[in-house]
Amino acid sequence: MPKRANIIFVSTENKSNLPYKSLGLTLQRIRQKSKQSISEVSGSVEIDEKILLNIEEGVKRPSEDLLLLLISHFNIEDSEASKLWELSGYDNETTKIEEEMKYPPIMLLMPMDSRVIYSDKSEVVASTNGLVINFMQFPNGPYPNQTVSRIGMSHEQASELVNILNKTLMHSKKAKNDANRTKTEDKSVE
């Protein structure tokens, strides 16, 4: 009987090209276990399918917000979530500092009298647990939008906020119309 040779597969792939391979494979395993397709998950967390594929292949690391959305979407337990957080490198403070140093910091002075900070743009990220509203400003130069405030709330709080905003806008429009009508009447009297 001839001897069988032991075959050992050795990867010639440079691991530095896929620094988040373990994270990607773990996320892929979780997605497949939940029997969801790439398009279903990417649609639920509102990202492009190619981005999710790059994350699962280990080419790209998800942002902290996206990782939190994925953890929430799959309803991952704390122990598994901690593992994902560790695999992503976000538990390492030097990684976070390096990430923040890509763009110059914006200093916001928040006085005690609670002055209003106006935003140029806002976006809402929703999950099954609630939503987060990000308020952003456009900085000078070639830098991306900077988030200046984030507010998280439950679905119930969000519905209440929508009602308050609608009522306030209706009162504001009525007051503006009344003021315009008064100006028109004053001009006609003259």
CB 121 within 8 A of CB 136: yes
Res. 129: pLDDT tops 90: no
Rounded distance, CA 90 to CA 84, Å? 9
- When pLDDT is cut at 50, 70 and 90, the band that residue 163 belongs to is very high
| pLDDT tens digits for range 138-162 | 877 777 778 888 888 898 999 999 9
| pLDDT tens digits for range 75-118 | 888 888 888 888 888 776 445 555 556 666 666 665 555 667 78
C-alpha triplet 94, 104, 88: angle, nearest 5°? 30
What six digits make up the tokens of 188? 């006609």
Q: Which amino acid is at 30?
A: I
CATH superfamily label, 15-92: lambda repressor-like DNA-binding domains (1.10.260.40)
The domains of the chain are located at: 15-92, 121-179
Other CB atoms within 10 Å distance of the CB of residue 132: 16
Say what the pTM is: 0.43
